[in-house]
Each structure stands twice: as C-alpha cells, then as structure tokens.
Chains A and B, each alone.
Chain A
Amino acid sequence: MISAESTLDDVAFAVCTALDRARIEAVLTGGSAAVHYAPSVMQSYDADFILEFGVPGSAVAAALATIGFSPHKNGFFAHPSSRFTVEFPAGPLAIGSEILRSFSTERRGDEVLHVLSPTDAVRDRFMAFYAWGDISALTASLAVAWAIGDAFQLEVFERWATRSSHEEHDRNGYRSAAEGLIEFRRRLCEHLESHKFICEDFCEQPLRHAVEVRSSS
C-alpha cells in the first residue's frame, strides 16, 4: 500500500510487483537503482523502469492502476498519496552501447524487484557523470560502490571505464572517463578518511583492500 510515507524503494517494489503479477518484466534503472543500493543517496524523485520489448502501454497502465498510479499527460505515472513518480524510459536496458542481458532480482516479503546489478548501478551513475559532468551522479556512483562493498569489482569497473573512454572521448569530446576515475578514487579516499578508515596509498589499491581495513577497524 503506497502512502505519503513510502520511500522511493517502497514505490519501486510495489510497481515492479504489480507489473510482475501482470506478467510484465520491468527493471529498475538510473538514479532510483542507485537509491535502492544506497538509500542515503538523493538522486531522483522518480522510479525509472525499462520494460521488456513490445509491452503495450495499456497493459502497463492497467497493472499500475491496481496500486493507485495513473498516467499523466507528460508521459509519467503519478500516485495521489506519493510524491514519487514512475517513468518508463525507452529501452533496451543498457549502459552506453553495452546492452545488459542480466539484472538482479530481489524479494521483500511477497514483493519482487528487478533492478540493475550492484556493479551495473555503479557503472550507470558513473556513465551519467561521464556523459553530463554531473557531480551528483559521481557521488551516487561512489555511494553505491561503498554500500555494496565486496560485491563491487573495482578492477572490472576500471577496465570498463577506460575502454569507454577510448571509445568515446576523443570522438565526442565528452569528459574523459579516465579523469572521472581519478576523481572517483580521490573521493573514495576522502570518504574513507572521513569515516576514519584511513588507508595509506589506498588510491593505488583495489577497493577490496579498503573493505578489509574497514572490517578490521
């Protein structure tokens, strides 16, 4: 039951469950996926879901009507008791040119939520920073990386970011992902220090090392 007290995550679970019951697969993405993993992050007031290909809008509207959401003329769904809205950006589920074939599925009681995997949520926010120079997206990316701890593979992430940089930077003139990585590491260091988990030369070490430091403190 969605109320004024419902969080963005509550709304996401309710929406995904309603769609799932109507046999519609939808995956939470963007800033709302970051909020799922790092609730302290304030990235958005809307839950962005990517629908499986070919789902008619009428079927989505009917499923969402069962939990009180109705379509707005500007293309999103709103609920009378909640400030959070629901949107369905055009698919497919992708990060840049990479189409995602898998995602995480989480359960909470009898509710279900399909959501970007933790590492993909970090990559998605980092990509938003990379594309728009949006510092809040970088902050969200870091917050998710920190929140998921061991599940985040920094080396895999860095290889991807560097590859993306080579593919896109020179041609498009967008912010270099390599520059972003330096910023990513610098801020992660600051975060560790601010939490008194100071780790000398952390900037040269994988995240796993920092997590070990945190655990042993």
Chain B
Amino acid sequence: MSEIARIYGKTVTLTQRTVRGLERDGLIVAITHGRTRLLQLNPRWYGLAALRKLLQTMASAQPELYAPAESVRARPRRSGKPM
C-alpha cells in the first residue's frame, strides 16, 4: 500500500480507503504474502477488458507516473545487504 501511495504522492490512509472501495466493488483483488498485500485487477470481474483499455488510455496521458512506478524495486535483495 505504501508503494502505491508513494507512486501517486498520496497518503497511505487515502490509498487504503481507495483500495478498499475498489475491492468492495470487485474491480481489484488482494493476495496477502506475509505482511504484504499484492493488488491486481480482478481477472473475474465482468468489465475487466474495458477497464484495462481505459487504464491504458489514462496511463498514456500521464507519463509523469512512469518514473516513480519504474523506480519500485522488484528484484531480490540478499538479507543483510546495506540499502
């Protein structure tokens, strides 16, 4: 959640509230791994294809979001290694 908040420059509380609403409406789902919640579009939601298209259109209009999204580290880090 904090990663998403950082990308969008919003508070974690606001992000949590937004995510909760999207989950309630069935647009996204969360899978918990330890203390991390992995969010994804709900593959079972009836409007998935249209939503994906809309999001792609919106993303292409907001290139300023690319840099913070791409800066999120996805590769592994050995434990004990300094940040």
Contacts and interface: CB of A to CB of B under 8 A. Distances in A.
A178 to B, nearest CB: 16
A97 B43 contact: no
Nearest to B31: A132
B48 interface: yes
A153 to B, nearest CB: 22
Contacts of B43: 96, 131, 168, 172, 174
B25 interface: yes
Contact of A90 (B26, B48, B49): B26
A55 interface: no
A94 B26 CA distance: 12
B44 interface: yes
B46 A94 contact: yes
Contacts of A204: none
B24 A75 contact: yes
A99 interface: yes
B12 to A, nearest CB: 20
B68 interface: no
A127 B46 contact: no
B9 interface: no
Given A75-B24, A89-B26, A168-B43, 20 more contacts: A90-B24, A90-B25, A90-B26, A92-B46, A95-B44, A96-B43, A96-B44, A96-B48, A97-B46, A97-B47, A97-B48, A97-B49, A98-B46, A99-B46, A127-B44, A128-B44, A131-B43, A131-B44, A172-B43, A174-B43
13 contacts: A75-B24, A90-B25, A90-B26, A95-B44, A96-B44, A96-B48, A97-B47, A97-B49, A99-B46, A127-B44, A128-B44, A131-B43, A172-B43
Interface of A: 75, 89-90, 92, 94-99, 127-128, 131, 167-168, 172, 174
